[in-house]
């Protein structure tokens, strides 16, 4: 099982999350590329550390919106979105190569991630960027999303992820953050659920019913209090359960 | 002889210069990379057009200063400058590769170009970026500059350029733009001087004395009135004189 | 009748439209405030020129999106939008006051203008900004829009505008730019329609039927070829018809 | 004695320092204006809190350089710097007025603060901005700086500040941060020195010799570990010593 997390999300003088600690826990680093977070100096440092730590580098691409941290939908032209994604891929690739590796996958961020669950044109724009840039790059996203469906149709490798700390509906979709119980906080429970996801066992959906999720990667967060500790417990529980924790990317 | 010019210097809704016309005249396009001018959509379009036109793509790297168009010296940390240059190289490379080619050379822009004529730390920072990114990339710059000296010492290929429309001192350095006569305006005279530079003949320095310049590339401008027409006359005069006009980059 | 136009829409080195020419024609200048276009130096110059020319200064407020020129809807939190509008009002006010006048009205720009025709929360956010900043400031907008309705309900003075060069449906709404015939190009026809709007006469809707528009301001464009000439003809026709051309703002 | 500190230095999703805690300690808040830090939402909140807390609002103006946090000298045209400072003053004024107060003073930030200790043209540019905007606004700066000298010559009220946690040379200038001992860390020592500054007593210069500083305001930091605790001890020590702690601004 792969563990992915958002990294490199500071900007200039500002920091966010504990990149160094997370690089000791996760196996895939979604590195922000400077459009909604990060900058060249941060990308240089995070890529070097990721390669040292044996962590796969993925491109965390997003809208060009530093003031909004990429969390606001922007109704942009698909062709412009394609170009913006290509730009971010190329920028990150430079740092990955300098660090001795390369970009291993693509994961859209924030409002873009959410938009292309349903937004056909923007999903197609992101797929077009990956196809144009390097059609061997896997894309990481939400199972059932328009994005993964279009990516698969375009011949890209798709990787489905689950969220360690989120509740799921009986249909296997995420419970909206606006509802009570959408986010789990108990590290032990979160770790147990991740082991179940990794071994094909049942977890409880938000109503307590049985649900099976079969992700190829589990997303853990790094920017909330206790986040690193939760990530550590998830990894330890997986290892204890005999699950190999390793990057999905080859 | 190579003819280089700055291209892709618009931003979003704003345009600057006539990229399409210049791509029919020059042999090397210094494409802005989004830090002081340009954006992803512009880079995508200019790179595609450049490859169609057989024009070599170079990275016009600069300070991160869109409001100042990269024309203001920024006293930044060398390590941050190195990272910023790598970022720009990677971003442009993505578009050059999609267009079917790659980045062929690096030319610093504006205040950065001027700073590293003398500024040792920033010159070293730019050299370090090219060395780290791809030590086979030639750098284009001012003969006699600290930048080209450091680049050569680091094992990079250096390419000396002359300016088609600038007056030179008896020592072969540029006459300051603040002085009268610093910029030439007569297309016929400019074209004659370029032919002389290309064939090893004498040109007149600002005092009327004899001067020999031996550039490997001549820079023509694209953002002033009549600029494209001057560039065309330079190219025609070179061709008429039997000079092969072709990219310096392999 | 008031004639309003967008001004100060350059950025840094980049220009857009002919501000000086338009300031000789229009009576109200919608000055961009640096979020989607313009910068401090441009605002300083345009405000000084506007006051010299007897043109009223209005705040052309928009989304924070220089790369998109404010033409892309951003799904931002209403509270953040309110703050962003207040920021822009204050910034422009400084230049208006230095020039010897003050901000006389507010006109949202681009995608924000279009969004708040229908978007209740964002309309309310803009209204809240004006109410908080200065509830004596009139707002200029589209007749029938949610924005003007909410502004009126909040006690603000609302000013309805018509577009000189746009076709209208029989219901008096704008014909979508995606449809043929949405934009008029004949200066004489445009001028005649403006005179009709100013005198309460009929104009032809897009289907040729009779329509009466009663705007308090007519918007003329400045960023298209021939735009300034059209604006001049509109003004001349109004004057010839005995219509006083003057700012609506007191 | 006045205690001033930099506040509102987050940006978007990113935070820096503990604004709320500092607003319970200091008497003057240097609020960043969005060019090197802060944004409209932060300014709105900090101004409201400052007014609630009886803290005077000052404009912390800086270079337009979010990626560099305003800590990099930018060799910009004086006229553009004047315009940029006016823009920031106006933006902050809007939030100060909404909060029920107004901007009470101006304090340049970071590299601009340091530059105008010596840089005549940029110092003049900042002075020109304050004179144009509101010549009754005091400016806060370094005693002996070109900036304060020019401001005084222009008729502005100047306010000299000392730094609570910095060592001074025998001449009363700051010891360079590059030298050992430039920054003091012992809260008790820092508090004792501040009391001495406020009461006209001697402090020790970096060589142990006697030095008298007579600031009208003392700058305490808010962005370093333990910073708020140091600020609290300074305030308590001043109060215990019978010094009235209050804003210098009327």
Confidence class of residue B249 from pLDDT cuts 50, 70 and 90? confident
Contact (Cβ atoms closer than 8 angstroms) between residue C73 and residue C117: no
Angle between helix D120-133 and helix D110-118 axes, rounded to 10 deg: 110
Mention every residue, 6+ apart, whose C-beta is less than 8 A from residue B157.
Answer: B136, B137, B138, B139
H or E segment to which residue A159 belongs: strand A158-163
Mean pLDDT within C208-228: 90
Residue C242, min C-alpha distance to chain D (Å): 40
Predicted confidence at residue D20, as pLDDT, reads 94
Helix (H, G, I), strand (E, B) or coil at C201: coil
Helix (H, G, I), strand (E, B) or coil at A85: helix
Contact (Cβ atoms closer than 8 angstroms) between residue A32 and residue A9: yes
The strand pair at C210-211 and B105-108 is best described as unpaired
Residues of C in contact with A77 (CB under 8 A): 72
Nearest CA to A32 out of A63, A8, A5 is that of A8
Is D73 near chain B, with CB under 8 Å? Answer: yes
Answer whether C73 sits within 8 Å of A74, measured CB to CB: yes
Supply the range of the domain harboring residue D8: 2-240
Residue by residue, DSSP assigns B175-193 as PPTTSTTSB---HHHHHHH
Tell me D199's DSSP state.
H
Residues of C in contact with A67 (CB under 8 A): 64
Residues of B in contact with C37 (CB under 8 A): 13
Residues of B in contact with A41 (CB under 8 A): 79-80, 83-84
Answer whether B74 sits within 8 Å of D64, measured CB to CB: no
- CA dihedral of residues D40, D46, D50, D51 (deg, nearest 10): 40
pLDDT tens-digit series, residues C169-212: 999 989 988 899 999 999 999 999 999 999 999 999 999 999 99
For tokens 């307590």, the residue is A208
* CB-nearest partner of B94 from A39, A79, A90: A90
Q: What is the rounded distance in angstroms from the CA atom of residue C182 to the CA atom of residue D80?
A: 40
Mean pLDDT within D214-241: 92
In this predicted complex, what is the ipTM?
0.96
Answer whether A94 sits within 8 Å of B89, measured CB to CB: yes
The three-state DSSP-derived secondary structure of A198-214 is HHCCCEECCCCCEECCC
Alpha carbon of C78 to those of A15, C35, C82, C116, D67: distances in Å?
26, 16, 6, 12, 26
The verdict on residue C207 lying in a domain is yes
Exposure string of D94-130, with b = 16+ CB inside 10 Å and e = fewer, is bbbbbbebbbbbbbbbbbbbbbbbebeebbbbbbbbb
Tell me B64's DSSP state.
S
The verdict on residue A156 lying in a domain is yes
Alpha carbon of A3 to those of A25, A31, A161, A187: distances in Å?
8, 14, 9, 15
pLDDT tens-digit series, residues C3-38: 999 999 999 999 999 999 999 999 999 999 999 999
Minimal-distance CA residue of chain C relative to D102:
C90
Answer whether C11 sits within 8 Å of B66, measured CB to CB: yes
Q: What is the rounded distance in angstroms from the CA atom of residue D39 to the CA atom of residue C39?
A: 16
Contact (Cβ atoms closer than 8 angstroms) between residue B8 and residue B44: no
Cβ neighbours, 10 Å, residue D145: 21
Predicted confidence at residue D177, as pLDDT, reads 85
Confidence class of residue D165 from pLDDT cuts 50, 70 and 90? very high
pLDDT tens-digit series, residues D81-98: 999 999 999 999 999 999
Average pLDDT, chain B: 96
Residues of D in contact with B69 (CB under 8 A): none
Query: Across the strands, what pairs with D58?
Result: D30, D105
The number of distinct structural domains making up chain A is 1
The verdict on residue D250 lying in a domain is no
Contact (Cβ atoms closer than 8 angstroms) between residue A205 and residue A160: no
Average pLDDT, chain C: 96
Confidence class of residue B137 from pLDDT cuts 50, 70 and 90? very high
Q: For residue B212, with 0-12 CB atoms within 10 Å meaning exposed, 13-18 middle and 19 or more buried, which class applies?
A: exposed
Q: Which of C90, C103, C133 is the best mutation test for D, with the most CBs of D within 10 A?
A: C90
Answer whether C72 sits within 8 Å of A72, measured CB to CB: no
Which is more confidently placed, B176 or B152? B152
Q: What is the rounded distance in angstroms from the CA atom of residue D27 to the CA atom of residue A200?
A: 60
Is B176 near chain C, with CB under 8 Å? Answer: no
Is A64 near chain C, with CB under 8 Å? Answer: yes
Q: Is pLDDT of B125 > 80?
A: yes
Answer whether B94 sits within 8 Å of A95, measured CB to CB: no
Q: What is the rounded distance in angstroms from the CA atom of residue B192 to the CA atom of residue B71?
A: 30
The verdict on residue A184 lying in a domain is yes
* CB-nearest partner of B43 from A34, A82, A87: A87
Is D15 near chain A, with CB under 8 Å? Answer: yes
Contact (Cβ atoms closer than 8 angstroms) between residue B190 and residue B231: no
The verdict on residue C74 lying in a domain is yes
Cβ neighbours, 10 Å, residue A214: 11
Q: Which of D94, D96, D100 is the best mutation test for C, with the most CBs of C within 10 A?
A: D94
pLDDT tens-digit series, residues B209-234: 999 999 999 999 877 778 899 999 99
Residue B40, min C-alpha distance to chain C (Å): 10
Residues of A in contact with B82 (CB under 8 A): 44
**C-alpha triplet C97, D137, D97: angle, nearest 5°:** 60
The strand pair at C203-204 and B105-108 is best described as unpaired
Contact (Cβ atoms closer than 8 angstroms) between residue B58 and residue B31: yes
Tell me B11's DSSP state.
B
Query: Across the strands, what pairs with C163?
Result: C219
The three-state DSSP-derived secondary structure of D63-92 is CCCCCCCCCCCECCCHHHHHHHHHHHHHHH
Q: What is the rounded distance in angstroms from the CA atom of residue A129 to the CA atom of residue B91?
A: 13
Q: Which of A8, A31, A83 is the best mutation test for B, with the most CBs of B within 10 A?
A: A83
pLDDT tens-digit series, residues C101-117: 999 999 999 999 999 99
Is C39 near chain B, with CB under 8 Å? Answer: yes
User: And the tokens for A24?
Assistant: 């000791």
Is B63 near chain A, with CB under 8 Å? Answer: no
Number of CB pairs, chain A paired with chain C, less than 8 A apart: 30
User: And the tokens for B92?
Assistant: 């442009």
Is A69 near chain D, with CB under 8 Å? Answer: yes
Q: Which of B13, B33, B62, B83 is the best mutation test for A, with the most CBs of A within 10 A?
A: B83
The verdict on residue A247 lying in a domain is no
Mean pLDDT within D145-153: 98
B56 half-sphere exposure, CB direction, 13 A CA radius: 22
Q: Which of C36, C64, C74, C121 is the best mutation test for A, with the most CBs of A within 10 A?
A: C74
Q: What is the rounded distance in angstroms from the CA atom of residue D3 to the CA atom of residue C159?
A: 47
Predicted confidence at residue A108, as pLDDT, reads 98
Residues of A in contact with D225 (CB under 8 A): none
Q: What is the rounded distance in angstroms from the CA atom of residue B217 to the CA atom of residue B243?
A: 12
Q: What is the rounded distance in angstroms from the CA atom of residue B50 to the CA atom of residue D222?
A: 51
Residue B48, min C-alpha distance to chain D (Å): 30
Is B207 near chain C, with CB under 8 Å? Answer: no
Is D10 near chain A, with CB under 8 Å? Answer: yes
pLDDT tens-digit series, residues B55-111: 999 999 999 999 999 999 999 999 999 999 999 999 999 999 999 999 999 999 999
Answer whether B75 sits within 8 Å of D76, measured CB to CB: no
Q: What is the rounded distance in angstroms from the CA atom of residue D201 to the CA atom of residue D39?
A: 41
Residues of D in contact with A32 (CB under 8 A): none
Residue by residue, DSSP assigns A180-242 as TTSB---HHHHHHHHHHHHHT--EE-TTS-EE----SEEE--SSSTTHHHHHHHHHHHHHHTT
Residues of B in contact with A90 (CB under 8 A): 90-95, 97
The verdict on residue A9 lying in a domain is yes
Predicted confidence at residue D249, as pLDDT, reads 81
Alpha carbon of B216 to those of A55, B163, B206: distances in Å?
44, 11, 22
The verdict on residue A245 lying in a domain is no
Mention every residue, 6+ apart, whose C-beta is less than 8 A from residue A206.
Answer: A167, A168, A169, A170, A175, A181
Minimal-distance CA residue of chain B relative to A47:
B83
Answer whether B94 sits within 8 Å of A93, measured CB to CB: yes
Positions in chain A short of pLDDT 50: none
Residues of B in contact with A80 (CB under 8 A): 40-41
Residues of C in contact with D34 (CB under 8 A): 87
* CB-nearest partner of C86 from D84, D89, D98: D98
* CB-nearest partner of D94 from C41, C89, C97: C89
The strand pair at D56-61 and D28-32 is best described as parallel
Residues of D in contact with C86 (CB under 8 A): 40, 44, 94-95, 98
The strand pair at C105-108 and A28-32 is best described as unpaired
Query: Looking at residue C83, which CATH number applies to its domain?
Result: 3.20.20.370
pLDDT tens-digit series, residues B6-36: 999 999 999 999 999 999 999 999 999 999 9
pLDDT tens-digit series, residues D35-75: 999 999 999 999 999 999 999 999 999 999 999 999 999 99
Q: Is pLDDT of C225 > 80?
A: no
Predicted confidence at residue A224, as pLDDT, reads 73
Predicted confidence at residue B250, as pLDDT, reads 75
Nearest CA to D66 out of D128, D16, D3, D116 is that of D16
The strand pair at A203-204 and A210-211 is best described as antiparallel
Predicted confidence at residue C223, as pLDDT, reads 75
Answer whether C90 sits within 8 Å of D90, measured CB to CB: yes
Positive or negative, the CA dihedral B124, B126, B128, B134 is negative
Cβ neighbours, 10 Å, residue D54: 11
Is C74 near chain A, with CB under 8 Å? Answer: yes
Q: Is C58 left (phi over 0), alpha (psi -120 to 50) or beta?
A: beta
Q: What is the rounded distance in angstroms from the CA atom of residue C54 to the CA atom of residue C220?
A: 17
């Amino acid at each position: 099982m792969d563990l992915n997390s958002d990294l490199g999300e500071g900007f200039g003088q500002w920091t966010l999350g504990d990149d160094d600690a997370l690089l000791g826990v996760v196996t895939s680093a979604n590195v922000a590329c400077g459009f909604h977070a990060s900058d060249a100096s941060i990308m240089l440092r995070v890529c070097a550390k990721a390669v040292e730590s044996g962590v796969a580098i993925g491109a965390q691409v997003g809208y060009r919106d530093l003031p909004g941290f990429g969390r606001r939908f922007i109704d942009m032209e698909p062709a412009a979105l394609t170009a913006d994604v290509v730009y971010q891929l190329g920028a990150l690739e430079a740092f990955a190569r300098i660090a001795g590796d390369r970009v291993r996958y693509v994961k859209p961020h924030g409002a873009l991630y959410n938009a292309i669950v349903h937004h056909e044109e923007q999903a197609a724009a992101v797929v077009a960027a990956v196809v144009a840039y390097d059609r061997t790059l896997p894309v990481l996203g939400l199972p059932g999303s328009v994005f993964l469906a279009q990516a698969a149709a375009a011949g890209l490798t798709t990787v489905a992820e689950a969220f360690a700390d989120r509740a799921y509906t009986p249909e296997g979709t995420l419970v909206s953050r606006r509802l009570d119980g959408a986010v789990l906080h108990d590290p032990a429970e979160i770790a147990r659920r991740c082991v179940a996801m990794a071994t094909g066992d049942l977890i409880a959906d938000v109503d307590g019913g049985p649900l099976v999720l079969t992700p190829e990667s589990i997303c853990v967060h790094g920017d909330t209090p206790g986040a690193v500790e939760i990530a550590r417990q998830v990894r330890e529980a997986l290892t204890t359960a005999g699950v190999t924790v390793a990057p999905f990317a080859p």
